[in-house]
Structure 1
């Protein structure tokens, strides 16, 4: 299963200034007779504290140096997985849409670069309902963008964001996340299909519980023939501290202790089975492999 990578310029509609056009990355891998492609939604711009705040600063410093990171500003990629098996065209998550950050919301440009439109998507399967994963569900008219698609979400995740108390309990910094998620979920309430951990949500796609980043976060094992790959969403949320120190609490996770335990389980499985992964915020298209390292793990890119 070799990985190929290419880059393209986003369309002029994505940004107000043509001079600021981003170059977006695509990675692709064959899985049996099917294809898994990453489609970029652009990047986020985050304060370093969003992830690093609870981490020990002295131990963090050499990791920042190793990866050339700023403690103050992060710009992670947003890479959605697109699975095509000849029958279904499955998009994992829906991106940010136009209302979250100006550096993101470029999914339709990425699809266009592949010769696809939102109407070509047969299923949208959500890892979780944070803004950069679900706010792109609606178009400019507040109608579902993927008009021909079946929308699918884990039952635990759906129930969490649907609960009217979530907006009051999630904390002021994330209250807008809850409001935005609920509004978009209301738009698909009558069409959504819910599933549980362990379910085969579609042929060759099984839901894997990876709770912690959000209460019902799901990863997905994609299998075709003898080949398999794990779509990890934000359960492994970056290529630096999440790999080097998976046991550390991250400020990006809603339940930091559970998320750390989840990372350990995922890394154990991925390395034991030598399974490629796609991570939503991993670099250069988000696709690669995991190897054990002297300190934690390392993200290995090919192609």
Structure 2
């Protein structure tokens, strides 16, 4: 009898309608935007400030009207293109140096995450000793101030090429009209550091701290600089805005962008940087390549292959 009752109970359960359990809502968001690697005895932390959605088909400049769309399609990318805003923190063992500061969410852009990612990576803004700026476009300097308009790095000295600061902090009446808004923004961002005596321009190629030096690459802006980081046999060169769109400009280095102040000068700087990196086999870090924006180059015909850094813990 017990067997009959058990069988009947099982049959009754199997006959019940199946109730679908609801899945939890999609969480959204992304993991904290920091990536860490060793460079000799140095520690390098890539920090993501967010992304821009860029109409790169309108910004990239090439005589071939189909080139940009074809290259993006080959890489399974669309328009507008999600474009990272990256900065780099270098711990030399003696100094904590930040290269560029992101856009800080200015103008409604989906940025402004750098300080949160800096803290998530294990550091605080008041630990940063030096901030080196590649150039004075807003997506590289706006993060110098916090949301209250105060210095985001209260103990840091800010440094940039004197040609860059001389132009953007100069007389707006003597500048092209298209540059005047950016000049006003640069003055707003730099002034608190100037007032505190913590803005110190340098002149061209300069060793700024042991293991970190500037290299002039004028063209994208009047005083655009890149920064070479070396420890032991390891080397990383931080390119700033020498290039913007990996899917297009590595295969076609001749493609320029509307943001260049002087495309005729910026182009040769990009070619030289590509060639040096491929021959030298060292790492480069790029402000607008998909995060973390660190990798190496390999020559491939008239262009180059981009080899992203391998994730390692």
Common topology (TM > 0.5): yes
Alpha-carbon deviation of 1:295? 4.2
Matches of 2:52 and 2:86 in 1, distance apart? 11
Per the alignment, residue 188 of structure 1 pairs with: 193
Per the alignment, residue 212 of structure 2 pairs with: 205
Matches of 2:64 and 2:174 in 1, distance apart? 30
**Alpha carbons 2:45, 2:90 under 8 Å: kept:** yes
Unpaired stretches in structure 2, ≥5 consecutive residues = 1-25
Alpha-carbon deviation of 1:192? 0.9
TM-score calculated relative to the size of structure 1: 0.87
- Distance change >3 Å, CA 69–CA 183, structure 1 → 2: same
Aligned pair partner of 1:103 in 101, 110, 118 = 110
Write out per-residue CA displacement over residues 68-110 of structure 1, whole angstroms, 9 at most, x where no aligned residue.
Answer: 233x412211111110022111100111123234411100111
Alignment of 1:140-289 (within 5 A): 140-165=147-172, 168-171=175-178, 174-189=179-194, 190-289=197-296
**Alpha carbons 1:239, 1:298 under 8 Å: kept:** no
| SS of residue in 1 equivalent to 2:237 | strand
**Alpha carbons 1:55, 1:250 under 8 Å: kept:** no
1:21 aligns with 2:4: no
Per the alignment, residue 40 of structure 2 pairs with: 32
- Distance change >3 Å, CA 268–CA 170, structure 1 → 2: farther
Matches of 1:37 and 1:248 in 2, distance apart? 30
Aligned pair partner of 1:66 in 74, 82, 87 = 74
| SS of residue in 1 equivalent to 2:188 | helix
**Alpha carbons 1:28, 1:37 under 8 Å: kept:** yes
Structure number with larger C-alpha Rg? 2
Matches of 2:108 and 2:30 in 1, distance apart? 14
- Distance change >3 Å, CA 169–CA 19, structure 1 → 2: farther
| SS of residue in 2 equivalent to 1:132 | helix
Matches of 1:203 and 1:26 in 2, distance apart? 24
